[in-house]
Amino acid sequence: MITTSLSFMTTFELHTSVVDKIDFQKALGKRIKEIREKNNISQAELAALCNFEKSNMNRIESGKTCPSSYTLYKISSSLSITLSEITSVIK
């Protein structure tokens, strides 16, 4: 009985972590898109500046993938902003 309870708790906690990660990815992608659009740069142009395929940039902006720290660095450098400007709205 205790094992079942612990298994349920672990599953619930893992599920909660997955939701938080997805929310984080979406917020991060939305922020990148907002900054890109504010600077009048197309998704294809930003992808080219970062040496990415446009489809990869689309996945990042739509929150379907969580970019690595180096990928975020390349994006922020290409937008001439600091990394903290991308992550500042994520709480």
Mean pLDDT, the chain, as a whole number? 83
Task: Report pLDDT digits (tens) over 1-11.
Answer: 444 444 444 44
> Using CB atoms within 10 A of its CB, is residue 2 exposed (0-12), middle (13-18) or buried (19+)?
exposed
Q: Can you tell me the mean pLDDT for 23-51?
A: 95
- Cα–chain-centroid distance for residue 79? 16
Q: Can you give the pTM of this predicted structure?
A: 0.76
Residue 39 DSSP code: T
Residue 64 DSSP code: S
What confidence score (pLDDT) does residue 59 get? Answer: 97
What band does 19 get if pLDDT is binned at 50, 70 and 90? low
Measured CA to CA, the distance from residue 4 to residue 41 in angstroms comes to 52
Which residue has tokens 């917020």?
27
